[in-house]
Amino acid sequence: MVADTAPTHRPDSATATAQWVADILRDRIVKGVYPPGSRIVERKISAELEVSRTPVREALKLIDADGLITISRNKGAQVLQYGAEEALALFDVIASLESLAAERLAERIDPETLDRLEEMHDRMLTYHKVGNHSDYFDTNSEIHDLIVGACGNPIVTETHRKLMARARRRRFLAIMKPERLQEAVAEHEEPMQALRAGDADGAGRIWRRHLLHTGATVAALL
Amino acid sequence: MVADTAPTHRPDSATATAQWVADILRDRIVKGVYPPGSRIVERKISAELEVSRTPVREALKLIDADGLITISRNKGAQVLQYGAEEALALFDVIASLESLAAERLAERIDPETLDRLEEMHDRMLTYHKVGNHSDYFDTNSEIHDLIVGACGNPIVTETHRKLMARARRRRFLAIMKPERLQEAVAEHEEPMQALRAGDADGAGRIWRRHLLHTGATVAALL
DNA sequence: TCCGCTGATATGGCATGCCATTCTGGTGCG
DNA sequence: CGCACCAGAATGGCATGCCATATCAGCGGA
C-alpha cells in the first residue's frame, strides 16, 4: 500500500492507456497527492508517465465526469475543493442509494451471500477489537460494496461507485474518529439482523440512518 | 422541435467543439436516430460534422460516461440495448433520487418556488385537458426538473440529470399511454399537497411511488 | 461442399504539431 | 511611484497521420 506514484511503466498495452492514466490520477487525487485546488497540467503528466497528451486529456475528461475535477478552457484541470456542505450533500445521496440497495438485497438475499456478509461482519469486528484500523476500514468498505453490488440493480452499483470516488477519502477520515468507530460498529449490527430476517423496509431505513451519521461526522470534520 | 440532424455548423467557436458534438449525438440517441445496438463510427461523424476525430472521440467518451453507449477497442461505440429489466432498475434509482429531492424540498421550500410549481402544475393540467400531449410532457418534465433542481443538493441534481438522459425517451413513451396519463395526473396532485403542507416525509414517499409507477409502465412496454 | 487460412479493409488508439487564448512579468508613460 | 500596456511563455483545443487489431471476403485444400 506504499504510494506507487512511480510510473511503473504501463503494465501491458492491452489495458487502454487512457484508462491506466485515469486510474493513476484518480488514485493520486483520492490519496491527496494532488491537494484540492491544485492544478493538473496535461503536459506534466504526459511527460512524467511517458505517454502523449491525448490519453492524458481523455483521462482528465473521465475524471471530470466523475466529478473529481473541473476543466476550464485554457486554464486546465483543477482538483475540486470541498467543504462540509458538499460532504453532507454527497452522503445524502449515497445514503439514499445504499438504502435502496439494502432494501432490495433484503428482498432477494440468498444464504450464500448472507454467509459472506456474516463472515465479513465478524472479521470487521475482530479488526476493530484488536485495533487494526486499516483492515477495519477496508473490510467496512467491502461490506458496503457487497451490499451495493449484490442488490441486483447494476445502475445502483455503477452510480454508487462514481459517488464513492468522491467520498472515500473523507469517509476514511470520519470512520477513523475514535468515538465514531464505536458507534459505527454498533450501527452495523442492526442491519445485519434486518437482513437475516429479510426485513427489507427495516434494512433500508436503518442502513440509511447509518450513512447519514457517517456523513454528519465527515461534515463535522470540515 | 423538428429533428435538426443537419449540422447547422457549430454555433460559435466559444462553445467547446467536443461538447457540441456530444450534445448532438446525445440528442440523436435519445430521439432514436441511432437505434439501440447500432454502431457509431468516429470517422463518419467526423466527416459529417466537419470536425476532426479528436473532439468526436472525446464526445463519445462523455456519452459513454453517461451510460448511453459502450466503447470497445477496435469495435467502436454501440448504442446500448435496453429491456424491461434495465428500465425497472433505472427508475428504481430515479425514484430514490427524486424522492430524496422532494423530501428535502418540502423541508425548505419558499413561497416563490411553491408558486412556480403551482403554476406549472395548473399549466400541465390545462394541457392535459385539451389533449396537448407534447406540451403536457414538457411541462411534466419541467416539474420533475424543478423539484430536483430546487432541492438544494447539487449532487442530486447532477446525478439525476445523467440518469434521465437514459430514461427520457422511454419515459416519453410511457407517459403517453392514455390510461397512464390519467393516473399520472392524479399522482401529481398528492405531492403538491404534501409540498404545500411542508410534509417532507409524505412528499418523498408519495413522489417515489409515482415514479415507481412510471417505471413499471415503461417496463411493461418493453 | 465446407472449413480454415490469409490478406485487405475498417476502425479505434495514440503521438505529434499547430493554433487560440490566457497568464505573467517587465517596461514605459503619466 | 503606480498603472496600463505589450511581448513571450504557458496551456488547452483541435487537426492530422501512423500503428495495432478486429472484421470480413475470397480462395484453396480436405
pLDDT tens digits along A188-215 = 988 899 999 989 999 999 999 999 998 8
Q: What is the DSSP letter of B98?
A: H
The mean pLDDT of A172-192, rounded to a whole number, is: 79
Q: Which CATH architecture has domain B84-221?
A: Up-down Bundle (1.20)
Q: Which residues of B touch A99 (CB under 8 A)?
A: 96
Nearest alpha carbon to residue B77 among B55, B56, B54: B56
How many angstroms separate the CA of B12 from the C1' of C1?
Answer: 61
Task: Return residue ranges of chain B for CATH 1.20.120.530.
Answer: 84-221
Task: Name residue A76's beta-bridge partners.
Answer: A72
> What percent of chain A is modeled with pLDDT above 70?
91
Local confidence band at A2 (pLDDT 50, 70, 90 cut-offs): very low
The mean pLDDT of A160-170, rounded to a whole number, is: 85
pLDDT, tens digit, 9 for 90 and up, residues A36-58: 889 999 999 999 999 999 999 99
pLDDT, tens digit, 9 for 90 and up, residues B24-70: 999 999 888 998 889 999 999 999 999 999 999 999 999 998 889 99
* Alpha carbon A217 to its chain's center: 16
Question: Which grid coordinates belong to B19?
Answer: 461538447
- Which of A21, A56, A86, A93 is most worth mutating to test chain B (most B CB atoms within 10 A of its CB)? A93
Task: Return residue ranges of chain A for CATH 1.10.10.10.
Answer: 14-79
With a CB cutoff of 8 Å and minimum separation 6, the contacts of A14 are: none
Task: Tell me the pLDDT of chain B (222 aa) as tens digits.
Answer: 444 444 455 555 567 899 999 999 999 998 889 988 899 999 999 999 999 999 999 999 999 988 899 998 878 899 998 888 888 999 999 999 999 999 999 998 999 999 999 999 999 999 999 989 888 888 989 999 999 999 999 999 999 998 988 887 776 666 667 777 788 888 888 889 999 998 999 999 999 999 999 888 888 887
Q: Taking all atoms of strand C, which protein residues have CB closer than 7 Å?
A: A 16-18, 51-55, 58, 73-75; B 13, 39-43, 53-54, 57, 71, 73-77
Residue A71 and residue A199 in contact, taking contact as beta carbons nearer than 8 Å:
no
Residue B162 and residue B26 in contact, taking contact as beta carbons nearer than 8 Å:
no
CA-to-CA dists, residue A118 to A103, A143, A148, A196, B68, angstroms: 17, 10, 16, 9, 37
Question: Which grid coordinates belong to A61?
Answer: 475528461
Question: Which grid coordinates belong to A167?
Answer: 467520498
Q: What is the dihedral of CA B55, B60, B61, B67, to 10 degrees?
A: 160
Q: What is the DSSP letter of A7?
A: -
| Core vs surface per residue B117-146: b (16+ CB within 10 A) or e | beebbebbeebbeeeeeeebbebbbbbbeb
* Nearest CA distance, A124 vs chain B (angstrom): 29
Over chain B, what is the mean pLDDT?
87
Nearest alpha carbon to residue B88 among A1, A53, A52, A153: A153
What pLDDT score does A1 carry?
A: 44
Task: Please give the Cα distance from B171 to B175 (Å, whole number).
Answer: 6
pLDDT, tens digit, 9 for 90 and up, residues A141-154: 999 999 999 999 99
Task: Please give the Cα distance from B35 to B23 (Å, whole number).
Answer: 17
CATH class of B14-79: mainly alpha
**At B31, is the secondary structure helix, strand, or coil?**
helix
